[in-house]
């Protein structure tokens, strides 16, 4: 027997899960609350299970609702992506792209690329979601973004990676700091120092933690920050040495601060375009990636040297 699967009740269910409110979900779907409640009731009748426990104050998923959410979240996202892609194919002028970007790429690669794209295709709509590397990969897998400017730190057979620019981590420090007098700079030289580190979830923190995991040396103070500009301000107050990506340095306004590369091979990374192996990039996304490739070529020559590794 063929199943009569309707998109609208499925979307209503997922919106209710996301908002935890029939009222807010109805507004998102653009229907009245009674109509929304009827959509959920019809879905429960078709499935012959109760999906929500409801009171006048809140809603909660039943065990069946949790299983149903886990089974349909990805397929519905895939279906919506397919529709968006086909609409985009109809005309580049009506294209829309949701891309993810590491903060360092948002500072340097993304602005000139978006400027160039706007001049070439003024009708294209681009949304940039800035997040840490592991968050971007999660969004890719859920189809929340079409591609990401990120790095691939571990094997991911479901993702395609196209390199754009070589990057490395640099120590940023006050002009008279002892780091500047070292003949070479490695992770082990930084461990005893007070450090300003980007927060857990960032690729910078992942590579630092992985590099020093087995080192038992005494450590200095550690400041965890979310934003690179905060790290620079802390260093300028003499609170430590920051570990920051080379790609971001020209945009951070270091002023009198100094920087030098960390020379371990584990302090290197490659920034590139990540997208799902099972998805074709839309024409609008391909156009954006081409402008990103051109921006990377122009910017790389202005970056500080990588140094030995």
Q: What is the CATH number of the domain that holds 118?
A: 3.40.190.10
Asked, for residue 33, whether it belongs to a domain, the answer is yes
Please give the span between the terminal C-alpha atoms of the chain, in angstroms, as a whole number: 63
287 with 142, same domain? yes
What is residue 193's DSSP assignment? S
In a domain, 308, yes or no: no
**One domain, residues 58 and 200:** no
Sites in the chain below the pLDDT cut of 50: none
* Residue 258, SS3 per DSSP: strand
Note whether 227 and 199 are same-domain residues. yes
89 in a structural domain: no
SS3 160: strand
Backbone angles phi and psi of 303, in degrees to 5: -85, 155
In a domain, 41, yes or no: yes
Q: Are residues 161 and 274 in the same domain?
A: yes
Q: What is the pLDDT of residue 284?
A: 85
What pLDDT shows up at residue 100?
96
Within this chain, do residues 111 and 225 fall inside the same structural domain, yes or no? no
Task: Single out the residue of 200, 193, 202, 194 nearest to residue 169, CA to CA.
Answer: 202
Answer yes or no: pTM beyond 0.75. no
Which pairing describes strands 268-276 and 147-150: parallel, antiparallel, or unpaired? antiparallel
The H or E element that residue 229 is part of is helix 228-236
Residue 236 located in a structural domain: yes
Query: What is the pLDDT, as a whole number, of residue 293?
Result: 94
Domains of the chain: total: 3
Question: Among residues 26, 51, 81, which one ends one of the domains?
Answer: 81
Query: Same domain, yes or no, for 22 and 152?
Result: no
Of 52, 81, 110, the residue that ends a domain is 81
Q: Are residues 41 and 159 in the same domain?
A: no
Task: List CB contacts of 236: < 8 A, sequence separation 6 or more.
Answer: 174, 255, 256, 257
What pLDDT does 215 receive?
59
Please check whether residue 183 lies inside any domain of the structure.
yes
Number of helices (H), then strands (E), belonging to the chain: the values are 11, 11
Residues 147 and 205 in one domain: no
Q: Which domain holds residue 69?
A: 7-81
- Does a structural domain hold residue 309? no
- For position 27, which CATH number holds? 1.10.10.10
pLDDT at 76: 92
CA distances from 292 to 86, 110, 224, 229, 302 (A): 23, 7, 30, 23, 16
Residue 87 lies in a domain: no
In this structure, the answer to whether residues 156 and 188 fall within a common structural domain is no
pLDDT at res. 82 = 82
Last residue of a domain, one of 58, 81, 104: 81
Residues 277 and 193 in one domain: no
Asked if 183 and 238 sit in the same domain, the reply is yes
pLDDT at res. 50: 94
Do residue 58 and residue 138 come from a single domain? no
């Amino acid at each position: 027997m063929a199943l009569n699967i309707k998109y609208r009740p499925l979307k209503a269910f997922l919106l209710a899960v996301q908002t935890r409110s029939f009222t807010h979900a109805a507004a998102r779907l653009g229907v009245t609350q009674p109509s929304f409640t009827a959509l959920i009731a019809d879905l429960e009748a078709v499935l012959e299970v109760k999906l929500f426990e409801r009171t006048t104050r809140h809603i909660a998923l039943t065990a069946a609702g949790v299983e149903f959410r886990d089974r349909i979240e990805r397929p519905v996202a895939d279906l919506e992506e397919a529709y968006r892609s086909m609409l985009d194919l109809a005309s580049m002028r009506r294209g829309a792209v949701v891309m993810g970007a590491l903060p360092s790429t948002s500072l340097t690669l993304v602005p000139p690329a978006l400027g160039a794209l706007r001049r070439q295709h003024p009708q294209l709509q681009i949304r940039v979601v800035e997040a840490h590397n592991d968050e971007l990969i999660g969004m890719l897998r859920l189809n929340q973004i079409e591609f990401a400017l990120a790095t691939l730190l571990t094997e991911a057979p479901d993702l395609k990676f196209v390199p754009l620019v070589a990057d490395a981590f640099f120590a940023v420090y006050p002009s008279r700091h002892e780091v500047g007098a070292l003949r070479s700079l490695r992770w082990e030289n930084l461990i005893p120092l007070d450090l300003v580190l980007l927060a857990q979830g960032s690729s910078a923190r992942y590579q630092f933690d992985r590099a020093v995991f087995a080192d038992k040396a005494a450590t200095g103070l550690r400041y965890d920050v979310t934003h690179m500009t905060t790290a620079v301000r802390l260093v300028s107050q003499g609170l430590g040495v920051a570990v920051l990506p080379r790609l971001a340095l020209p945009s951070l306004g270091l002023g009198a601060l100094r920087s030098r590369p960390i020379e371990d091979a584990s302090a290197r990374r490659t920034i590139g375009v990540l997208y799902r192996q099972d998805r074709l990039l839309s024409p609008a996304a391909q156009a954006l990636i081409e402008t990103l490739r051109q921006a990377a070529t122009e910017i790389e020559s202005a970056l500080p040297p990588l140094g030995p590794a």
